[in-house]
Structures are given as structure tokens and as C-alpha cells.
């Protein structure tokens, strides 16, 4: 059977939406920078790329009009190279990797760029003109036809998970602090710089992440007000920030990577998607990860690295507890609470980051997983070569 491998990874720096250094950049330009950067670093002939598959959670405005194709043209890829935009909210760019994996398995191409982009400065979360379907239950429609809260806000889901799974505020804040500390240490050691491509803006060159808060303390976190209700436990310090950024990952067949002299970061061993109630969407990684682990024929004890998206500390902790994953193998270089979460780009980042950790000698198996708004989870199992 043809094996799929991760053979390259770059990303822009991640910065706060609206007030960060990338707020003035168009998302299609940001995406193009990563596509060009990935090709330049790999040395691969762009004519060998079958397709650019790009995740975007809100593909409208400046990141609409099939942003994958637009970014490809901006990056100077050949006219003959395809481009497809994928939307599975936060799981969009991990789904892009899964699609390429399936294409490779069926012989429909050997080399794909799987990317993701989100400018939460230029396209607001929720988009510009979305109107919830009134057939679904909501706080304003408690007796609607369909009792599922399909359009529930992410903050409310985080509070629901905290309440249902008993994740108190102190536990959330401890997890958030450790994410900040790991990201701070990774940045100081240069472990983040290698994956970043610089962005040239009118105000100068941006070549480092801007969301990190290295001075975070438990005392500071304890002083923050609840973000989603006066009696809540989730704060801005225990949630991922609104973020701008883009990611690109080179996904190829193993034979292609070896023939082209590309670094084989990891093999894609198994993938999975699963649904869960939208009201507790944060628990989505649990069924998705269990399904992926079963397909890979391994157990949690076989994992050496886990990259889980930290949409909120409450949901990340709840998932790790349910899966019985020890925190000491989780997000070694920090997670989204510290680094940021540009929605459509995160899945590609955490998948490639897991591959990167394996390539650095992080053991044999890694899991990348994340929750998805609307009630889904997605997971990828990687294996070291």
C-alpha cells in the first residue's frame, strides 16, 4: 500500500487579530507567503504539485473566491496546479491533509500542499452575513423544532464542558500557564523560528509570534473576569486568542519523497472524524481519537507525542482526562492558548508539529487532534520513520 508522509512544514508568525502585526495583511497574501516559503525551503519543482488544498473556516471576503487557487497564483505556482478550499471550521486544514492522504492512496497524485489560513482581523468569526436557522434551539428559541443548539457560541460550549466534566477554574488556569511556559521556552530555544517564514508588512518584517504572554502568572490569571458570563469559569487567559496566520504542509507519497530527496518527517498511519453534541463540541477529540487509534491498531500508551488544539483549557483538559493521556507528552512547544488559533490554519499546524516532534526523536507514534465548532472532532495518527 502506498504510504503518505509529511515532508515539509512552514507557517507565518501568529499574531493577535485586529491589534497584531498582521492585521493589515490580506489573508490570500498571507497564504501565498507560506506556499512560496514551503516550496523554496523544499527545493521542489512546483510543477510536481498536484493540488493545493487549503482550509479556511470562513471562506468569504478577502479569503473567499476559492482562496486556495488565488493564493496559488499569488505564490507563482503553475497555472496547471489545482486549488481547492476546504471548510470544516477549526478542522479545515487537518481535513486538507486527510484529503491528500486519500488522493495519494488511490493514485490520484503524489504531491500536495495542504495549507490553512485565517485572518480574524479581516473576516470576523461568524462571517459577515450569517443568519442562524431558526429551526434549531437557541437561548432566544428554547422551544424550537430541533432541540440541538447547532449555532451555539464557542464560549458557551467551553463553559458547558467545564461544568459537565468538572474542570474548575484553577485547573484551567494551571493548564493555560503551562502552555504559556512551554511556548516561552520553545521560542527562547529557537524551536519555533525554524518553522516560521517572515512576513514583510508596510510597518516592517514580522518574523516571530506575537500572541505569547511569557509573563503570565497564576495570580494574573486569577484576576481576570469570566469572559462568557459573570458566573463562568472561562477567561481570556484560558481561551485561545483571536488570531491571524497561515500554514503550509507538504504531503506526498513516501516513494515520491525519497525520489525527490525530501525529509520524511512522519508517516500518516490513520485518520478519523467524529461527531458530538454541538453544546459540548470541545469533547470532539475524544471519539475522533479513539477511532483513529483503533484504526492504527495502537493504544494511548503507545503515544509519545500528542498535539491537541487548545481552543479552551476546559475542553483540552476534559479530553486529556477522558482519553487518559498524561499531560507531560502534550503540546511540548506550547499550544493555541499561548501561540494563537487562526481557525482554518490550526489543523495543519498541529499535525505538522506532531510530525516535527517525532522527527526530533520524540518516539514512534503521535496524535494530532482538535475539536470543531458545530460538534465534531478530528484526529490524525502519525508514525516515525
Residue of 56, 211, 319, 371 marked catalytic: 371
- CA-to-CA dists, residue 204 to 17, 21, 22, 175, 261, angstroms: 17, 9, 11, 34, 35
Residues 6+ apart with CB under 8 A from 51: 81, 82, 83, 84, 100, 103, 109, 112, 113
Strands (E), the chain: 4-11, 15-16, 51-55, 82-86, 111-119, 199-201, 204-206, 243-253, 266-275, 303-308, 365-372, 376-383
Alpha carbons 367 and 355: distance in angstroms, whole number: 9
The three-class DSSP label of residue 53 is strand
| Three cell numbers written together for 70 | 488565488
DSSP H stretches of helix in 14-153 = 27-42, 67-74, 92-105
The three-class DSSP label of residue 20 is coil
Q: Does the CA dihedral 331-238-316-270 come out positive or negative?
A: negative
Residues 6+ apart with CB under 8 A from 2: 104, 105, 107, 253, 254, 255
| Three cell numbers written together for 47 | 510543477
Active-site residue flag, 90: yes
Active-site residue flag, 211: no
Residue of 15, 56, 90, 98 marked catalytic: 90
143 class by beta-carbon count within 10 Å (0-12 exposed, 13-18 middle, 19+ buried):
exposed
Q: Which helix (H) or strand (E) holds 222?
A: helix 218-222
Residue whose C-alpha cell is 500554514 = 247
Alpha carbons 147 and 136: distance in angstroms, whole number: 6
> What residues act catalytically?
90, 341, 371
Amino acid at each position: 500500500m502506498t504510504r503518505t508522509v509529511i515532508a515539509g512544514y512552514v507557517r507565518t508568525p501568529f499574531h493577535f487579530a485586529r491589534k497584531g502585526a498582521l492585521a493589515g495583511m490580506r489573508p490570500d497574501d498571507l497564504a501565498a507567503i507560506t506556499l512560496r516559503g514551503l516550496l523554496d525551503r523544499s527545493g521542489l519543482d512546483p510543477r510536481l504539485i498536484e493540488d493545493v488544498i487549503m482550509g479556511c473556516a470562513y471562506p468569504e471576503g478577502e479569503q473567499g473566491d476559492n482562496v486556495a487557487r488565488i493564493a496559488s497564483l499569488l505564490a507563482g505556482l503553475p497555472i496547471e496546479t489545482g486549488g481547492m478550499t476546504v471548510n470544516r471550521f477549526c478542522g479545515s486544514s487537518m481535513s486538507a491533509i486527510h484529503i491528500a492522504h486519500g488522493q495519494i492512496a488511490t493514485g490520484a497524485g503524489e504531491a500536495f500542499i495542504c495549507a490553512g489560513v485565517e485572518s480574524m482581523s479581516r473576516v470576523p468569526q461568524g462571517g459577515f452575513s450569517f443568519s442562524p436557522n431558526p429551526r434549531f434551539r437557541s437561548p432566544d428559541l428554547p422551544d424550537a423544532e430541533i432541540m440541538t443548539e447547532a449555532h451555539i457560541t464557542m464560549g458557551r460550549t467551553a463553559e458547558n464542558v467545564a461544568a459537565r466534566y468538572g474542570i474548575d477554574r484553577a485547573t484551567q488556569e494551571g493548564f493555560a500557564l503551562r502552555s504559556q511556559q512551554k511556548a516561552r521556552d520553545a521560542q527562547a530555544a529557537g524551536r519555533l523560528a525554524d518553522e516560521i517564514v517572515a512576513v514583510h508588512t508596510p510597518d516592517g518584517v514580522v518574523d516571530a509570534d506575537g500572541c505569547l504572554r511569557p509573563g503570565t502568572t497564576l495570580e494574573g490569571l486569577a484576576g481576570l473576569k469570566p469572559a462568557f458570563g459573570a458566573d463562568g469559569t472561562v477567561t481570556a487567559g484560558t481561551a485561545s486568542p483571536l488570531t491571524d496566520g497561515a500554514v503550509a504542509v507538504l504531503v506526498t507519497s513516501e516513494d515520491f519523497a525519497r525520489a525527490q530527496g525530501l525529509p520524511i518527517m512522519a508517516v500518516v498511519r490513520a485518520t478519523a472524524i467524529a461527531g458530538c453534541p454541538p453544546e459540548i463540541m470541545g469533547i470532539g477529540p475524544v471519539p475522533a481519537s479513539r477511532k483513529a487509534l483503533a484504526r492504527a491498531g495502537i493504544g494511548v500508551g503507545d503515544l509519545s507525542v500528542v498535539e491537541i488544539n487548545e481552543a479552551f483549557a476546559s475542553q483540552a483538559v476534559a479530553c486529556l482526562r477522558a482519553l487518559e493521556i498524561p499531560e507531560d507528552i502534550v503540546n511540548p512547544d506550547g499550544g493555541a492558548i499561548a501561540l494563537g488559533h487562526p481557525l482554518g490554519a490550526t489543523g495543519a499546524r498541529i499535525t505538522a508539529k506532531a510530525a516535527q516532534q517525532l522527527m526530533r526523536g520524540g518516539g514512534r507514534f503521535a496524535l494530532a487532534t482538535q475539536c470543531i465548532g458545530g460538534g465534531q472532532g478530528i484526529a490524525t495518527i502519525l508514525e516515525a520513520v
